[in-house]
Amino acid sequence: MPTVLITGANRGLGLEFVRSFAADGWRVHACARNVEKAKVVRSMEGDVVCHKLDVTDGLKVASLARELAEEPLDILINNAGVYGPRTGFGETDFQEWGPVLQINTVAPLRMVERFMGMLEKGERKTIVNISSRMGSIACNENGGSYIYRSSKAALNMVTKGLSVDLEAKGFTVISFHPGWVQTDMGGESADIPADASIAGMRKVIAGLSTEDNGKFFNYDGSEIPW
């Protein structure tokens, strides 16, 4: 049975990832900071195991990795993320920059390093980082959102670095732009519903090979410039 671990699994894209993989018969490790609020995940049909996890807490991440150490892990999806203050030039809340970077950039690398033993046991050896087109330097035509943009640009660099470091081990490491999605972060006026985004990303993930290592994909499979 293939196995996937998903962070930020209690709502939005994370919840839809859990629902989609579980429906296809995967074993799903669903990680959420507020497990008590993850009622939908905890009641979901299928082989779903819910774990309380704050991805910014290094000790808790290490503890969960030790708990699951003997289990193979095919795919790690670093989905947990925050937008932070929605401000433009001259309004930057510099105190909030650090916490956003901890969640969006530092935590995904921590997850990969701590769960590497499980990933090496898995057959698919796939790492998926949920980034954003707003983290593309080439695509930045509007400015603003310095905190969020920089955290996702840095996450893309983490993806690229991992793709180089883990290439010899047969890993495929990618970043995804999930689209402008109708979630709490994206808002009701966003372009696409969460299930459409997940369906697109699942299709791309299913078709990945080592030749895709180190790429930045849109949810529909088209590539995005760094």
Beta strands in 43-171 (DSSP E): 48-52, 75-78, 126-130
| Tokens describing residue 173 | 């490491």
pLDDT given at position 186:
63
Position 183 pLDDT exceeds 90: no
**In angstroms, rounded to a whole number, what is the distance separating the alpha carbons of residues 106 and 99?**
10
What is the CA 126 to chain-centroid distance, rounded?
12
pTM, to two decimals: 0.95
Between vectors from CA 114 to CA 108 and to CA 120, what angle results, nearest 5°? 100
Question: What is the residue-averaged pLDDT of the chain?
Answer: 94
**In angstroms, rounded to a whole number, what is the distance separating the alpha carbons of residues 208 and 221?**
10
pLDDT given at position 225:
97
Q: Which fold has domain 3-218?
A: Rossmann fold (3.40.50)
134-151 pLDDT tens trace: 999 999 999 999 999 999
30-46 pLDDT tens trace: 999 987 777 788 878 89
| Tokens describing residue 72 | 């193979």
